[in-house]
Amino acid sequence: MAIEDYEGDMKMCCRCSACKYIPLQMIRHSKFSDVCPSIARYNFHAYSGGGKLLIGREMLAKGFEYTDRFLHIVFNCLLCGACDVSCKYAMDMEVLLPISELRMKCVENGNTHPTFEKVINLLRSKGKMVEGEGKRSEWAEGLNIKDVRREKVEVYYHAGCLSSYNKEYHHIPRTVAKMLKEAGVNFGIAYEGEICCGGRAHEMGYREDFFNQAMKNVEIVKRSGARVIVTSCAHCYHAFKVLYDRYGFKEFEVLHITELLEKLIKEGRIKIRNSLALNVTYHDPCYLGRLGEAWIHFKGKKLPGIKFVFDPPKTYRRGAHGVYNPPREVLRMIPGLKIYEMERKKEYAWCCGAGGGVSESNPDFALWTAERRLEEAMETGATVIVTACPWCEQMLKKAVASRGVDLQVWDVVEVVERTI
Amino acid sequence: MLPRSMYKEIELVVGPENVSDDISIKYAYRSPYVTVVLPGSTEEVQAVVKICNKYKVPFKAQSTGWSFYPPEYDFVLLDLRRMDRIIEIDEKNMYAVCEPGVIAAELQAELFKRGLTCNIKGAGSNCTALALSGHGHMGITTSTGDRNDLATEWVTDEGEIIRLGSLSSSGEWFCGDGPGPSLRAIIRSGGVITKQATKVYHWPGPTYYDLKGSSPQYILLEKPANFMVRYFSFPSIEKMLEAELKIGESEIAFELMGFCPSMVSSNITTSNEEDFTTLQELLKEVQGPGFMVIIAGNYPEDFEYKKKVLEQIIKETSGKSLKIVEDPKVETTLLIQCTRISASIRETFRAGGAFASMMVQGQRYDLHVRWLEEAAEMKRELIRKGLVIADEGYQFGWAEENAHLGHTEIFCRYNPYDEASLKAVQEWVRKVAERALEGCFALPRPGILPVEMVGPRMSNYHLWFEKIKEAFDPNYIGGLTGFSYVGVDSASDHTSLYKRKGPAP
Amino acid sequence: MLQGLNEFSGSIITDPSVLKEYSSDFSFIPPVLPALVVRPKNREEIVETVRWAARTKTPLVPLSSGPPRFRGDTIPSRGGSVVVDLSGMKKIVKVTRKNRVALIEPGVTFGELIDALKKEGLRPNMPFLPRSTKSVVASLLEREPVLMPKYHWDISDPLACVEIVFGNGEVFRTGEAAGPGDLEEQWAAGNFQKAPYGPGPMHWHRLIQGAQGTMGIVTWASLRCELLPNLEEPFFVPSRELSKLLELSHWLVRMRLVNECFIVNATILATCASRRWPDDYETLIFDLPPFVLFFNLAAYEYFPEERIDSYLKGVREILKNIGLEAKKALCGISAMDFLKMIQRPSPDPYWKLRMKGACHDIFFITITQKVEKQVFVMYEVLRSFNYPSTELGIYIQPIVQGVNLHCEFNLFYDPNNKKEVEKMKSLSWEAVKVLLEKGAFFSRPYDHTARIIMNRDAAHVAALRKIKAIFDPEGIMNPGKLCF
């Protein structure tokens, strides 16, 4: 894979600006029409999905020039995929993939962001992408969870770096573990053997490092005997489900915890005992939603001629088949709880600001993005924002603190925990 | 490259984060000569324009910047994206005031809540909401282009702020004309429109479309009350036009959009392969050219009456309803996409990456239609030779203002990176433009033929225009605003009818 | 003076008694005798006249309506002016049913046009009871408001294209008439000069409208025509509350239910509808409600009765919501008779002259939220000048499909009473000032108040002067008008 592989897609961009907005017929309010945080913040067309495609195709033709502005454009992209979805409403072309390749090209040529270098060094030395003292599996103390290094399980639970190393988010994997136990799921964790999935390394543009993590993770899961990976982090979900498959590492079924919870609750293996009178809104994590759609291995080719058609017909990932309903179903099954949807949701949800490594490289921009999302959440009248990714939760909580508003941010599992 | 002192002065006006001439910015804006400036207010626009005058560096302004033919010398591009406020919606007096960075979808979304709608350019609601954006599918009801202008705030090419109409007299937006002659005549000749009031119209539909499903197939589970969408084909273009005129005169349609079958199939399908397969199916069913009609009743009796009249007209003109559009799923897809104008891209760019269009507004019956029938014949020849993407080879168009006026167009879809395709299309455009003059049909769109060839056939308007430009743009630095064209790339003088005097700076 | 001019064959008038008729009108513009009057018969004669005037720097004052005139725009402002009277150019050049357009010379009156269009099943969108001598082209160029807001898409409607001789003697055609080809070639191609925009990025007709002859002389104009209805059903809606009628007007126009639609007060209705003056007037003014909205439902070719029925359903719903009632007659005035009357020019004598012999009009453009206040302050001004409020005519016309309102006050007075004339002049001056402060927009400034209106925005004036300098470099076209 290289940016050259997407030359045709980059040339297809007709500069229509659809990539900047949610699908046009979904716009109900002028305040919530934007879908691309990068151009919403920086305004030059270059920051939009289409802008980056134009830059990519010109640089491919004329040579790459790694100016400060160019790198600012490349690294202030959340790689959230919203532009990809909006463009593909009308067009048959890839948008996010060439944008991602553009970043990789920069990194491969020694032009990375200084904060990324720090993070990647941490990954290489310690197998994690989040700072934090203490053991990776500290969250699991006292829970008596099976150790996959010693025994076989059916389900491998991967907590992820943020939930493991940031004590503020320990409650997520702890709650997941308790629920899975109660439901009688035969699961385990790798304790100190768990390593980063590599997903955020891929986002940052470090493909080789991602490969390294992938190969190691595949081994861990294989040795555990599990056929299913479950995670409560959207970035990890995307890594395992999409990236591993894309690069030929797919060997397992991958579920997000919300998908499993939906099943377990419906089967009665987790019982909702209490009602919860709450008005909530749900924030779709990008990497669980539009980017969580399964990878499509296309082996056809463009037919000769002037039409852009393929044989066999090419199926594009357009964000339709991400994980949208399971978290909502889980919430709907809670008596007394009402969901008030934000205007930008599902495949055209506004990003929380954490994607693409931006929460590390440009925390101000990440916070700005999260604050925009917070404004939207507040319009619903909900008192709680529910999400399904610790990175989203972290960003939204930062926005709440920054704005000083009285709004809670919970993970889906936290909501369920209050009812069981 | 701008003089550094000029760059610095611009930085002081808009802030360093809102000006750039970096190579990546140039690539994104498709010109090696551009310096992009993002003004946030009328005052900033004025200040930058004055700086351009001081240094005699040309400038152009853009709202969303979709189609753009950059000049081949250093220039400043005012990207007006940051000026994105809807300033006022006056429901009682049926107008809305916007800045250029507001897109039509945003304005319409706000208007829908108030039982109103606006005209939207045929290219899509991703274009500016300003009236200058042009002619669109709903024109039979929502008029067209500059005829929707009201009061306007305009920065001239010299950097003067002129407020038109009631804005100059009392700071209000309701009228753009006077006192005395109306300067609405010249606001598309140059300068920068920084705020504008535009007419809006009654909307009998829902306050929003409650769409289900996911991209790229959103659906309305229930069609709004008193709405109907149909596509009718006719045995000949004459019959089609007869029906179109009758529908216009009887005032029954909310929208009459003269799609070709290929545009229908593009609009309702979600991939190129599906598009071309569907087209073959449609072509088996249609008897000839046709149009889509949206009937919208203000109340049930109104709806029933309009439907009855439509039925009668179709019967009289031997029209035939396209079955697929009677399917509620397809019917509502077209309703949404042809009122929000959200799928034009499918009809034009998706197939090959580019399209070249010849379009004209004005007297459709039978003047422009006859002209573009010749163009259609030439297009069909190109299809036979495999030089443009094959479709049925029809022209299309739509009625405007109860069919008093209309928009008539034909385009060829092609791959701009295929040499033969590109050359054939450019040649086609040129020939069609020449026929416009030879046959006394129309003024061809600017840039295809030399202005010295066109102007004398059109009351020497180019000479008068030159004088207007001289008066309002004495330093010869302003770009042309107004209707922009997508499609075939053209020489840089496409950007202005007015030829620069002397060498480029 | 005549040197160079008398080579053309148009008639030239030097008779002082005739010249005197052109030296003044019902406005407060001081009388100025023209040096002569020319009456060209065709474009070539107009071109010759203009070129001669440009060479000799002779001011020209074009006009195309017959007397009586009211606005002062056709009174010379300078001595030595030549009036170019086009009222004798009366050709109705072409009427095209399919494209609903007519092309006429400047001297054609509404009565003449209506009769010609009727033969093709067409009609013009007319102003309210123009005088019988009023030129249609003049009305179009003045941007006079029209009775059917539904068909008033743009303030420039129903004007389509014009041919004009600019002040430098060059001929130009606007819109679709610009070319390619001359008129004959265009007609052969099927072009009937319908679209007003262009050529190119400019919309030239807008600079000619509202210019009061200061840019050039129009030799012909084309105008958009509407269909003659097969069936019509007009109504009056009386009310003491103007606000309710404004609400009604908004919905009737917004939903495009009605053709003719406007509001008048009792004074206007009584003045127009009186058959026996002054007896009928005195009865009517006593009996009529303060305000009346008049609207007309119309149907065309297809199922006309059903169309009227369906419109009536909608209208009744709106009336019910607002708490109003529609009537087919009011105080003995039949709505149908009234409709027939307003679909033609005013019978002679011109209705505005019936009450006292003269009428001064104050008119502006406004919006729903402001007009009641503007009516109120107008009454206050009248009170301060002891002008009887029952003699004030009020006409409110929704225009541009309801986007704004033309509001017109008609002040009747005796032109032979010097004191009344002086009082009227001062009253109108004061009224314009007060109304300006209340947000009235005088889009069409005339008479002695034109300067205070034009001078409100220096940038606007500067722009207009640039344009004027292009089309009329010698400044010969009606100097002294507007801001020129």
Neighbour-count burial of C188, counting CB atoms closer than 10 A to its CB (0-12 exposed, 13-18 middle, 19+ buried): exposed
pLDDT(C6) > 80: no
CB contact under 8 A, B169 and C456: yes
Please say which residue of C342, C377, C403 terminates a domain: C342
Is B174 within 8 Å of chain A by CB? no
Three-state DSSP class for residue C93: strand
Please say which residue of C342, C372, C392 terminates a domain: C342
Is the Cβ–Cβ distance between A331 and A339 less than 8 Å?
Answer: yes
DSSP of A185-222: --EEE-GGG----SHHHHHHT-HHHHHHHHHHHHHHHH
CB contact under 8 A, A11 and B417: yes
Q: What is the pLDDT of residue B501?
A: 40
Please say which residue of C342, C375, C400 terminates a domain: C342
Residues β-bridged to residue C407:
C364, C396
Measured distance CA(B143)–CA(B118) in Å, rounded: 9
Mean pLDDT of chain A: 95
What are phi and psi for residue B284, nearest 5 degrees?
-70, -30
Chains interfacing with A (3 or more CB pairs < 8 Å):
B
Q: Same domain, yes or no, for C218 and C240?
A: no
pLDDT in tens, C250-291: 999 999 999 999 999 999 999 999 988 888 999 999 999 999
Query: Which residue of B138, B305, B364, B463 to mutate against C (max C Cβ within 10 Å)?
Result: B305
pLDDT in tens, B300-348: 999 999 999 999 999 999 999 999 999 999 999 999 999 999 888 999 8
Is B208 within 8 Å of chain A by CB? yes
Q: Which of residues 301-360 of C touch B (CB under 8 A)?
A: 301-303, 306-307, 309-311, 313-314, 317
Q: What is the pLDDT of residue B496?
A: 34
Q: Same domain, yes or no, for C118 and C215?
A: yes
Measured distance CA(B169)–CA(B497) in Å, rounded: 32
SS3 of B92-120: the string is: CCCEEEECCCCEHHHHHHHHHCCCEECCC
Q: Which of C40, C150, C131 is nearest to C353 (CA)?
A: C131
pLDDT(C247) > 70: yes
CB contact under 8 A, B497 and C189: no
CB contact under 8 A, A319 and B214: yes
Q: Same domain, yes or no, for C40 and C85?
A: yes
Q: How close does chain B come to C319, measured CA to CA in Å?
A: 15
Q: Which of residues 13-52 of C touch B (CB under 8 A)?
A: none
Per-residue pLDDT, averaged over C133-146, amounts to: 98
Is A65 within 8 Å of chain B by CB? yes
Q: Same domain, yes or no, for C363 and C423?
A: yes
Question: From A28, which residue of chain B is nearest by alpha-carbon distance?
Answer: B109
Query: Which residue of B367, B369, B370, B441 to mutate against C (max C Cβ within 10 Å)?
Result: B367
Residue with tokens 């640039």: C466
Q: Same domain, yes or no, for C201 and C76?
A: yes
Is the Cβ–Cβ distance between B306 and B312 less than 8 Å?
Answer: no
Q: Same domain, yes or no, for C39 and C126?
A: yes
Measured distance CA(B162)–CA(B189) in Å, rounded: 14
- Under the banding of pLDDT at 50, 70 and 90, the label for residue C169 is very high
CB contact under 8 A, B481 and C201: yes
List of residues 6+ apart from B116 with CB closer than 8 A: B89, B91, B94, B96, B200, B201, B202, B203
Instruction: Work out the angle at residue A195's Cα, subtended by the Cα atoms of residues A190 and A200, and round it to the nearest 5 degrees.
Output: 140
Residue type, C225: C
Query: Which residue of B17, B19, B22, B24 to mutate against A (max A Cβ within 10 Å)?
Result: B24
Is B389 within 8 Å of chain A by CB? yes
Domains of chain A: 1-111 (1.10.1060), 114-266 (3.40.50.1860)
Q: Are strands A187-189 and A155-158 parallel, antiparallel or unpaired?
A: parallel
Q: What is the pLDDT of residue B486?
A: 27
Is B92 within 8 Å of chain C by CB? yes
Q: Which of residues 317-376 of B touch C (CB under 8 A)?
A: 361-363, 365-367, 370
The pair of three-digit structure tokens given for residue C468, joined into one six-digit string: 């004027």
Residue type, B99: E
- At B328, which helix (H) or strand (E)? helix B328-339
pLDDT in tens, C193-213: 999 999 988 999 999 999 999
Among B143, B308, B465, the residue with its CB nearest the CB of C200 is B465
The pair of three-digit structure tokens given for residue B400, joined into one six-digit string: 């405007």
C-alpha distances (whole Å) from A137 to each of A140, A159, A216, C78 are 5, 9, 18, 98
CB contact under 8 A, C203 and B250: no
Q: How close does chain B come to A366, measured CA to CA in Å?
A: 18
- Whether there are 3 or more C-beta pairs closer than 8 Å between A and C is no
- Whether there are 3 or more C-beta pairs closer than 8 Å between B and C is yes
DSSP of A160-186: -HHHHH-GGGTHHHHHHHHHHHHTT--
Q: Which of residues 332-371 of A touch B (CB under 8 A)?
A: 346-348
Q: Same domain, yes or no, for C436 and C457?
A: no
Which residues of B are less than 8 Å from C250 in CB distance? 92
Is B65 within 8 Å of chain A by CB? yes
CB contact under 8 A, B363 and C191: yes
- Whether there are 3 or more C-beta pairs closer than 8 Å between B and A is yes
The pair of three-digit structure tokens given for residue C183, joined into one six-digit string: 């008129």
Q: Same domain, yes or no, for C277 and C222?
A: no
pLDDT in tens, C346-385: 998 899 999 999 999 999 999 999 999 999 999 999 999 9
CB contact under 8 A, C467 and B468: yes
- Under the banding of pLDDT at 50, 70 and 90, the label for residue A355 is very high
Q: What is the pLDDT of residue B490?
A: 29
10 Å Cβ neighbour count for B321?
16
Q: What is the pLDDT of residue C9?
A: 57
Which residues of C are less than 8 Å from B151 in CB distance? none
Domain of C315?
A: 231-342
Q: Same domain, yes or no, for C134 and C206?
A: yes
CB contact under 8 A, B174 and C176: no
Among B110, B123, B214, the residue with its CB nearest the CB of A320 is B214
SS3 of C283-307: the string is: HHHHHCCCEEEEEEEEECCCCHHHH
Inter-chain CB pairs, A–B, below 8 Å: 191
Per-residue pLDDT, averaged over A55-68, amounts to: 96
Is B471 within 8 Å of chain C by CB? yes
Q: Are strands C261-265 and C231-239 parallel, antiparallel or unpaired?
A: unpaired
Q: What is the pLDDT of residue B505?
A: 36
- Under the banding of pLDDT at 50, 70 and 90, the label for residue C1 is low
Question: From A12, which residue of chain B is nearest by alpha-carbon distance?
Answer: B353
pLDDT in tens, B97-129: 999 999 999 999 999 999 999 999 999 999 999
Torsion angle, alpha carbons of B418, B424, B426, B427, to 10: 160
The pair of three-digit structure tokens given for residue C146, joined into one six-digit string: 């029209």
pLDDT(B500) > 70: no
Q: Same domain, yes or no, for C31 and C171?
A: yes
Three-state DSSP class for residue B290: strand
pTM over 0.80: yes
- Number of H helices and number of E strands within chain B? 17, 20
Which residues of C are less than 8 Å from B464 in CB distance? 172, 204, 470
ipTM computed for the complex? 0.96
Q: How close does chain B come to C302, measured CA to CA in Å?
A: 6
CB contact under 8 A, A67 and B22: yes
Q: Which of residues 417-476 of C touch B (CB under 8 A)?
A: 436, 439-445, 453-454, 456-457, 459-460, 462-464, 466-467, 469-470
Is the Cβ–Cβ distance between C144 and C138 less than 8 Å?
Answer: no
Is B419 within 8 Å of chain A by CB? no
Q: Same domain, yes or no, for C69 and C198?
A: yes
pLDDT in tens, A119-154: 999 999 999 999 888 899 999 999 999 999 999 999
pLDDT in tens, B162-203: 999 999 999 999 999 999 999 999 998 889 999 999 999 999
Is the Cβ–Cβ distance between A115 and A75 less than 8 Å?
Answer: no
Domains of chain B: 4-82 (3.30.43.10), 86-202 (3.30.465.10), 211-346 (3.30.70.3450), 353-438 (3.30.70)
Q: Which of A55, A99, A107 is nearest to A80 (CA)?
A: A99
Among B82, B105, B350, the residue with its CB nearest the CB of A24 is B105
Is the Cβ–Cβ distance between A157 and A177 less than 8 Å?
Answer: yes
Residues β-bridged to residue A281:
A385
Residues β-bridged to residue C12:
C38
Cis peptide before C278 (omega within 30 of 0): yes
Q: Same domain, yes or no, for C380 and C300?
A: no
10 Å Cβ neighbour count for B453?
13
Total domains in the fold of chain C: 3
Q: Are strands B396-400 and B405-414 parallel, antiparallel or unpaired?
A: antiparallel
Among C194, C441, C467, the residue with its CB nearest the CB of B363 is C194
Q: How close does chain B come to A211, measured CA to CA in Å?
A: 30
Residues in chain A: 420
List of residues 6+ apart from A205 with CB closer than 8 A: A100, A103, A104, A106, A107, A108, A112, A116
Domain containing residue C365: CATH number: 3.40.462.10
The pair of three-digit structure tokens given for residue B478, joined into one six-digit string: 């302003």
